Amino acid sequence: MNLPVNIICMKWGSKYGANYVNTLYAMIARHITLPFQLTCFTDDAQGIDPRVHIRELPALELPQGAPERGWNKLTTLQPNLGGLSGEVLFLDLDVVIVGNLDAFFTGSAPFTIIQDAKLRRRRIGNSSVYRFEVGRYADILEKFRTHYAEIQQNFRNEQAYLSHEIHQRGELSFWPESWCPSFKYHCMQPWPLAYFQDAIIPEGAKIIIFHGHPEPHEAIQGITHKWYRPVRPTQWVADYWRA
């Protein structure tokens, strides 16, 4: 019997409710043929589907009042990650899964991440989707904890710091470009066509990532909060992003 592949997510604060975790679990289950286990690291497990393994949100111990900027994700690098071992795939809560996930568990690269669509020349990853070996990069987390002030000055967010450190080791690799397109940059139509044409699912897409606005529930309604970046109500997001 094959052991389940490990997929993890994180939920903290009030931005995302339990429905995001439950929807993520349901999307994974519909788009994978491998046995899997989803583990959620959270400070509030109320309402989360019992099929999701719950682990306490690791403490990052940021200085009081420091901007968060996704730094909490760096705690996935700790050596004892909720009792998990081997390779794990991290998924943001606000992704929309539209294709089979099996391929994310193939290949031998020690660390694989999305290449940021806007920062390609700088080899910076987007940490909405990344796979790594538990404990392999624990020293990167420890360096952050001991040199936080300096790192905050040099790196805008956690994915820039993480990409830099792993690139320095020669271990940074990226998913095929077509696998994880951005809804904002690859699915939405450019202005002014966006007023008349629906957002698309790019060929070869497996996971649509969302950053800023719109979020998945906003894409469904056709809301972006930007007059120069409109989107029509997007039914296919509703079809995929459901529990």
Q: Does domain 5-93+108-174 have CATH number 2.160.10.10?
A: no
Integer Cα distance of 243 and 231 in angstroms: 24
Q: Of 88, 71, 70, nearest to 79 (Cα)?
A: 88
Taking each helix axis from N to C end, the angle separating 138-146 and 158-168, rounded to the nearest 10 degrees, works out to 120
Question: Would you give per-residue pLDDT tens digits along the chain (243 residues)?
Answer: 678 999 999 999 888 999 999 999 999 999 999 999 999 999 999 999 999 999 999 988 777 766 666 789 999 999 989 999 999 999 999 999 999 999 999 988 999 999 987 655 568 999 999 999 999 999 999 999 999 889 989 998 899 999 999 999 999 999 999 999 999 999 999 999 999 999 999 999 999 999 889 999 999 999 999 888 999 999 999 999 999
Annotated domain spans of the chain: 5-93+108-174, 183-240
